[in-house]
A = this chain, B = another copy of it.
Amino acid sequence: MDALAALRTLLAVRSYQAKPVPDAVVRRILEAGRLTGSGMNRQPWHFIVVRDGETLRSLGALASSGPYVAQAPLAIVVATDKSRFAVSDASRAIQSMMLAAWADGVGSNWVGFSGMDDVGALLKVPPSLDVVGIVPFGYPTKHIGRGQKWRKALREIAHRERYGQPFE
């Protein structure tokens, strides 16, 4: 998929087919995360690949904002060290992984921020790290509208030279 098309059409997907995500796709998703830029190139992230059904159901039970994790065939839990840029860096890596998945037809969504300490305990994440999110992945159950998203108009959020001068 073309990069701009992927950026324009990427949507949150919360309902997945049971069909597994192939190993080759999992690997492309991980590579996209691994190769992401980070503050001072610190790469403060860890990616925990979960495909075990029981673990996925436990994650869904712990994630109050994302019980649908329980039905996903795959989730990647993202943990970081506690450095200053870690949340930014992990967010960039998550965006990269969601885009890589989408380019392969696989939907995802970011599930956080509540319940993450319990997720860390479940997955034996050391207390020196923070769990910042669970990203469930799977083939969407529905035909996904391309680019039909609700977003603010450009004039509400884009400014020219200084705040308050609309870009258009």
Q: Is the CB of A10 within 8 A of B37?
A: yes
Residues of chain B lying within 8 A (CB to CB) of residue A113: 84-85
Near B by CB (< 8 A), chain A positions 129-168 give: 129, 132, 147, 149-152, 154, 157-164, 167
Q: Contacts A87-B87, A149-B35 hold; do A100 and B163 have CB atoms under 8 A apart?
A: no
Bitwise, A89-111 to B at CB < 8 A (1) or not (0) is 10110111011101100000110
Tell yes or no: A18 within 8 A of B by CB.
no
Q: Is the CB of B95 within 8 A of A87?
A: no
* Centre residue among A8, A37, A52, A124 by max chain B CB count within 10 A: A37
Q: Is the CB of B95 within 8 A of A30?
A: no
Give A residues with C-beta under 8 Å from B. 1-8, 10-12, 28, 30-32, 34-37, 39, 41, 43, 45-52, 55, 79, 84-85, 87-89, 91-92, 94-96, 98-100, 102-103, 109-110, 112-113, 122-126, 129, 132, 147, 149-152, 154, 157-164, 167
Known A3-B6, A99-B99; 15 more pairs at CB < 8 Å: A3-B7, A7-B36, A35-B151, A43-B152, A47-B157, A48-B160, A48-B161, A49-B160, A50-B161, A87-B87, A88-B88, A89-B91, A123-B161, A123-B162, A125-B163
